[in-house]
Amino acid sequence: MSDRQTTVAAAKPPSRATTRRRGKNGKWRRGWFIAFLAVLSALPLLFHRWVPNSVGNLGSLLDTFLPWVGVAVPVLAIAAVVRRSATAGVALLVPAVVWGLMFGNLLIPGKGGGAYDVRVLSHNVDADNPNPKATAQDLLTADADVIALEEVTAADMKVYKAAFAKTYPYEVARDTVALWSKFPVAQSESVDVGFKWTRALRAEVSTPEGKVAVYVAHLASVRVGASGFTSDQRNDTIKALGRQISDEKLAGVIVMGDFNGTANDRSLAPLTTGLRSAQGAAGYGFGFTWPAKFPMARIDHIMVRGVTPTKAWVMSSTGSDHRPVVAEIRI
């Protein structure tokens, strides 16, 4: 072969078949780091219970925002598409499937349904609420049979009493927590959760279908700072309220309030064990309630025992830093 022929042969581009083979193989060879990150993102979901609370309560902090770990999936999916990596695409199935098994049931529409006997509403109205009168009017639009409020100041209590007086003839107030009902309240009492002032109450509400025990609670706040996720005081209130509810004699129990923790938070177990979340049983979506402008966690709850939630939802912002939660319940 002449020098000229050798030069022409060397300059000849690869065949289409060769290019296709290289491109196909390249899709599997690229994106290994993205694939590694994809598998890594599944670990907090799979092993979140193994993260200890002994150091800054990191376990509870992860539990609180656990659904947001799933954000890694679409972010890494975009990176995989840009990188044209089939390996990363397959690896992304791992966190996607794990997340779906853990939280997919919350995205199933049409849960619950059917007739209900009582509609209940709970709202942390915020002690610094600039317009409690407007908040009261927003709550009235829900047409609830029972309204539970938390973080009510002495001055704002007068506003809520005036706003609810015509619709709700029965009212119970204990320091910063209160309940209004269209149905008679047979008896009520404060519930001691270890504070100098009352942050929980119990009322027996006589619905047309029978009495139910209604608890309204505002558990202690948590803090995220240099020392980590501080929740010891909240956890003490959880245990105290949990003991009271576990000893409840009435068959039907409705627990409402600001728990300052999500249902995933292991620290809430002394309270939530034996209770069903109305949102989880009959709501659609995660039902995030805090902070009101861009909710990232559901720390306001309606939980039940011995009754059946048929529908649950979250209302729009009312001027508080929390959003109200509503549920319809069959006794």
Task: Tell me whether residue 62 is in a domain.
Answer: yes
Of 45, 74, 107, the position where a domain reaches its end is 107
d(CA 19, CA 64): 49
148 shares a domain with 63: no
Q: Which domain holds residue 182?
A: 118-330
Q: Which residues pair with 230 in a beta bridge?
A: 223
Domain count, the chain: 2
Q: What is the pLDDT along the chain (331 residues), one digit of tens a residue?
A: 555 555 544 555 655 555 455 455 666 778 899 999 999 999 999 999 999 877 767 888 899 899 999 999 999 999 999 999 999 999 999 999 999 999 999 998 878 889 999 999 999 999 999 999 999 999 999 999 999 999 999 999 999 999 999 999 999 999 999 999 999 999 999 998 877 778 999 999 999 999 999 999 998 876 555 544 555 667 778 888 999 999 999 999 999 999 988 988 888 899 999 999 999 999 999 999 999 999 999 999 999 999 999 999 999 999 999 999 999 999 9
Task: Tell me whether residue 229 is in a domain.
Answer: yes
Task: Tell me whether residue 126 is in a domain.
Answer: yes
Task: Tell me whether residue 113 is in a domain.
Answer: no
Check which CATH number belongs to the domain holding 191 and give it: 3.60.10.10
320 shares a domain with 174: yes
DSSP string for 13-58? PPPHHHHHHHHHHHHHHS-HHHHHHHHHHHHHHHSGGGS-STTTTH
User: Coil, strand, or helix at residue 299?
Assistant: coil
Task: Tell me whether residue 40 is in a domain.
Answer: yes
Task: Tell me whether residue 127 is in a domain.
Answer: yes
Task: Tell me whether residue 112 is in a domain.
Answer: no
210 shares a domain with 82: no
240 shares a domain with 274: yes
237 shares a domain with 122: yes
122 shares a domain with 99: no
Contact yes or no for 320/141 (Cβ under 8 A)? no
d(CA 318, CA 4): 83
